[in-house]
Each structure stands twice: as C-alpha cells, then as structure tokens.
Amino acid sequence: MTNAVLLNNVEHRDLRVQTGRSAAFGDDNWYALTFPLEFRALQGQYPIFFQKDANTGAFFPLALLGLEPGENLYLRDDQWAASYLPLTIRREPFLIGRQNFVEDGVQKTRRVIHIDLDSPRVNREQGEALFLEYGGNSPFLDGVADMLEAIHHGIEQSEKFIRALQIHGLLESFTMDITLDNGEANQLKGFYTIDEERLRALNAEDLNELHQAGFLEAIYMVLASQSQVRRLIDEKNRRNAAQ
C-alpha cells in the first residue's frame, strides 16, 4: 500500500528523496512497466515483453529485470548495472495525480505531483531536496515533473499501441524454458510477445498503417530486445557461480 498525498511546499518543504538503488528501497522488482516511447532506449539492455492484467484483461508492455519474482538481475551491490533506468523505476516515490479546479466557471482537471510518504526513499535528512529555501521547486523536482509528464504521454501512446497490436492479431503467449549452468531450471510463462509469423503475413496497407502511427518501429524494437534474455541468463549464472 502507498500513502500518496498531494505534494506541496508547506507541509513538505523539508522533505528529501534518496535516489540510490537497492532492494531496501524497493528495487527488487522483476519487471518494470514501460511504453513505446521508451523502447529505443530500453532495447539494447532489457528484454521487452507484454503481460495481461488478470483483473481487467488489458495488456501492458514491460522491461524484464529478472527470471523470477523478487529478482532484479540489474541490481548489483546497490548499483544499477545498466546505463538506462526505466522511467517507471526512476520516478519512485512520485506519482501522477489529478486535481479538479474551476476556471471561468468551468470545471477542469490538471495533472499534479503526488508523493508516497511511506516510501523508504522519503526522509528529512538525506537525498535530493524537493523545494528551495523560499518555496520554489528544486531542479530535482522540476526534473521529476518532466519525467511524470513523459510517463503520462507514454502510457497514452501505449494504449493505442496495444490496441493496434490486438487489431492485427500480433500478440501471442509464449513459454521459455531456461536451464542454467548448474542444472537449475527456470521457466518464463504468462508473458506475451510479437507474433512474427503474423507480422510477416501483414499486407502493405496494414504495415503502412502501423508505420504511420509510429508503431512499426516499436514492434521491431520489441523483437530486437529479446536477445537481452541472454544477458539475464549470464548474470544469473554468474551469481550462482559466485555463491
């Protein structure tokens, strides 16, 4: 559970946020939500797959970080072992909120920043300051606002991307059996990927439609990223050998 509240420079003027990486800060997740605008940055370092929400049936893309729940193979000695950090990981402990207001007699909604006060990153002694001495936003908080805005637009685009994949029947479930050097068996299941055979069968009109929407590049980024599963296996083998 989170204790998310609207961030303000009165109650929270002294808050600081630690930006280090460790399991103690909640970084031991085995995947991170992502979106097509981020695929180019991700694909050279993380495998990108899709998962289906068991409650809503909606699909969402993710960057795979480990081979089993609770395992983050990019987290080593409290350092993140990749040059790019997924935005949905980097944004912690901040969330996008909505606030209603009235302007010229018309009720409107704007996006605002919330912060999870129960996050282990939040304190009053160490880390990045959120506000300046006289109440203005710190450069760090301005960066957070830009990041949350990028995530908001990315999620909007992701919904359109997923819809296009479903229209063209391009999502397929898969199971991947992995045997490690020590004989340990791992199985990735419950994930989805791009149906390459279906993709090759699309006609020129369908391919052009995907291209014009900016989705064809994203599709190929997903396919290219899957070679990064080898990176996860190699790191898992390295850790097993070190034990």
DSSP-assigned states of every residue in 123-169: ESSSSEESB-TTSPBPHHHHHHHHHHHHHHHHHHHHHHHHHHHHHTT
Q: Are strands 171-179 and 31-33 parallel, antiparallel or unpaired?
A: unpaired
Query: What pLDDT was estimated at residue 240?
Result: 94
Quick one: angle between helices 139-167 and 215-225, nearest 10?
Answer: 100
pLDDT tens-digit profile of 114-171?
A: 999 999 999 999 999 999 988 799 999 999 999 999 999 999 999 999 999 999 999 9
Query: What pLDDT was estimated at residue 134?
Result: 82
Query: What pLDDT was estimated at residue 111?
Result: 84
Model confidence, pTM: 0.91
CA gap 141, 134 in Å, rounded:
15
Query: What pLDDT was estimated at residue 200?
Result: 96
CA gap 63, 44 in Å, rounded:
11
pLDDT tens-digit profile of 111-129?
A: 899 999 999 999 999 999 9
Query: What pLDDT was estimated at residue 110?
Result: 77
Q: Which residues of the chain have pLDDT under 50?
A: none
DSSP-assigned states of every residue in 182-233: TS-EEEEEEEEEE-HHHHHH--HHHHHHHHHTTHHHHHHHHHHHGGGHHHHH
